[in-house]
Structure 1
């Protein structure tokens, strides 16, 4: 498997304070799912925003053979990097369909229509409410809409920031089940930021644990299927945050 994303010595600082991210390095293969886990304030979202081009950063971010340093966020979307932020950030006054159209604004009309049909087939809960204002959806439906909006852009790399945040366990399972379908049926690569180890393990290949803006450990999902190894990782890297 060739590397689609290579992050090397990435650092992010806001103002004159201590860096939020300190020399982080990891790779994501074509079609792979890589998770970044850690407590609030560990630097996970800052890494995602840096990859998406939404916050200044130092270090190297390569997408395939292309260095992203000089590319603004809009161009990164056109290259196939799509960020689904924490908190969803859908446009509540627009309908479900209109939000999906926004996701494919850079695509030709025919491709956008095809991608929207695929998303509505994948998420029948929102397909039934396509002409309803987005603010009227449940939390789980809004998360499906946020992910679907990202998928309309036909990404090669999807950056998912805390998709389980604020959702009841049943809805978390439903969202992750749909992500598993996407995983099986496409070659889409995903970087997943999460605090929920159990649901993350169901989807990802590799997990990187962060603390204080640094990667402090790495495990494969296969390794963590062993209960003792999983508890060891929780104790070593997540502690009470798990």
Structure 2
């Protein structure tokens, strides 16, 4: 049985502006499934709908139970945690205080255990745990945002463009940590990205979005072949995504 099943999901902004049109996909336990596409493809709207942050039509089933109509905080309690694009850390709080915010529903003992795990996973932020978050680099803030998500003890992490605005070296570092999280936990991930190369390093399968629709699907193993990868780029992403 899939951990997450999204069926016939649509998102509207206003009466006529449709951001997502009847998308469907599944996420198995411990799997990493990517939604890949250009700006405006409907990726972030899909994630926010799954997280319960915006209204949608269709169905979201998590661990065999329908989530339709459940508020975001209840979805967090059940194990769905959204890490937004742009990181959204609280700059005037310390790193440690930001992490505590992520674990607000946990007991004090659980927070201590998860804090130790996050700081061990991200030594870059551990060294600055008692300093203000605004002083950190973009890559460090992204690590903090992911760590804050992990503080909630998720079973499914919704990661929205973790490479956004980062230099290539920092992108690689963030994805290395995500790979470590995957190896060492039972966590499943839905990853929203524009970076095909990094997405392939982490994901099991990729759904390609354009204009709010899923226009293609590939298992990552199918894209190891250069010709097959180029075919997918030409069909679903365009030449700008070749890197």
Q: TM-score of the superposition, structure 2-length normalised?
A: 0.98
Aligned residue in 2 for 1:124: 123
Shift of the alpha carbon at 1:240? 3.3
2-side partners of 1:110 and 1:18: how far apart?
46
Shift of the alpha carbon at 1:158? 0.1
- What secondary structure does 1:90 align onto? coil
Any stretches of 5+ residues in structure 1 without a counterpart? none
Residue 3 (str. 1) matches residue 2 (str. 2)? yes
2-side partners of 1:212 and 1:127: how far apart?
40
Shift of the alpha carbon at 1:17? 2.7
Q: Cα deviations across residues 120-176 of structure 1 (Å, max 9, x unaligned)?
A: 000000000000000000000000000000001110000000000000000000000
Aligned residue in 2 for 1:59: 58
After superposition, residues 1-242 of structure 1 pair within 5 angstroms as 2-242=1-241
After TM superposition, the structure 1 stretch with the greater mean CA deviation from structure 2, 211-220 or 232-241, is: 232-241
- What secondary structure does 1:19 align onto? strand
Q: Cα deviations across residues 69-91 of structure 1 (Å, max 9, x unaligned)?
A: 12100000000000000000000
Deviating above 3 A after TM superposition, structure 1's stretches of 4 or more consecutive aligned residues are none
Q: Cα deviations across residues 105-126 of structure 1 (Å, max 9, x unaligned)?
A: 0000000110010000000000
- What secondary structure does 2:159 align onto? strand
Does the 8 Å CA contact 1:195/1:241 hold for their aligned counterparts?
no
Shift of the alpha carbon at 1:16? 1.8
2-side partners of 1:70 and 1:16: how far apart?
20
Does the 8 Å CA contact 1:7/1:60 hold for their aligned counterparts?
yes
Does the 8 Å CA contact 1:38/1:241 hold for their aligned counterparts?
no
- What secondary structure does 2:169 align onto? helix
2-side partners of 1:75 and 1:102: how far apart?
16
Does the 8 Å CA contact 1:9/1:24 hold for their aligned counterparts?
yes
Shift of the alpha carbon at 1:220? 0.5
- What secondary structure does 1:223 align onto? helix
Any stretches of 5+ residues in structure 2 without a counterpart? none
- What secondary structure does 1:23 align onto? strand
- What secondary structure does 1:12 align onto? strand
Does the 8 Å CA contact 1:5/1:64 hold for their aligned counterparts?
yes
Q: Name the Cα RMSD after superposition.
A: 0.6
Shift of the alpha carbon at 1:65? 1.1
- What secondary structure does 2:163 align onto? coil
Q: TM-score of the superposition, structure 1-length normalised?
A: 0.99
1-side partners of 2:200 and 2:103: how far apart?
30
